[in-house]
Amino acid sequence: MQLPLFPLNLVIFPAGILPLRIFEPRYLQMVRDCAKNQQEFVVCSLDENQTLKQAADSSWVGTACEIIDFETMPDGLLGITARGTRRVMISEPTQDANELILVTTETIPEEPDESLPDSFLEWSKIIPLITQKMGGAYANQEHKLASAQWVGARMAEYLPFELAHKQRILEIDYPLIRLNYLQDILQEAEYYLSKGNLS
């Protein structure tokens, strides 16, 4: 299936909430077309030094998103809220007359969900605190706090990891492996912080 691509300096996971301000003409047209045709668009991570086509060529795993809300922002710009629906493989980027990148997508099979292990229960307590502070659609979303898949995805989205780490986490197929990878990153960060505090 061919879908429009929206490269961004972030990674969104299935069931993730994504508020966006739309101002470029090509993306305004994309939003109109997606709303009219009830079509998804694809988000993939974009390094600030990459061109749009390079992003489509290099970030082979992205997330299809559906638009769930619209609003006019105080500055007059169009605001939308999107939600991730599924991970997709991205290939064959092309560009239309409006310079919008279109990509061929293939759905990545849904991961087998598992119960959140007891060793990660603290994370399930942290997430509602984060989403409540973020407010809006974040606070109102369904919180699947017993799901290893959902908790791992939200922690990857909300914590300030490097973009490359987030992209790698998106590409991991199994929820428990994703949780362990997240834990390794956090433990490594804690180690370097402690070394810094000692110096």
26-75, pLDDT tens digit by residue? 999 999 999 999 999 999 987 656 666 666 566 589 999 999 999 998 88
Q: What is the pLDDT of residue 58?
A: 62
- Mean pLDDT over the full length of the chain: 90
- SS3 label, residue 22: strand
**Model confidence band, residue 198 (pLDDT cutoffs 50, 70, 90):** very low
Separation CA 139–CA 132 (nearest Å): 5
Average pLDDT over residues 158-177: 93
Tell me: pLDDT of 133 over 90. yes
3 in Cβ contact with 105 (< 8 Å):
yes
Tell me: pLDDT of 197 over 60. no
Residues of the chain above pLDDT 70, percent: 88
When computed from its CA atoms, the radius of gyration of the chain, rounded to whole angstroms, is 18
- Taken in order of first residue, the domains within the chain and their CATH numbers are 2-107 (2.30.130.40), 118-198 (no CATH)
pTM across the whole model: 0.88
Q: What is the pLDDT of residue 47?
A: 64
Say how many residues make up the chain. 199
96-131, pLDDT tens digit by residue? 998 999 999 999 998 888 999 999 999 999 999 999
Separation CA 52–CA 152 (nearest Å): 28
Separation CA 8–CA 50 (nearest Å): 11
Q: What is the pLDDT of residue 60?
A: 85
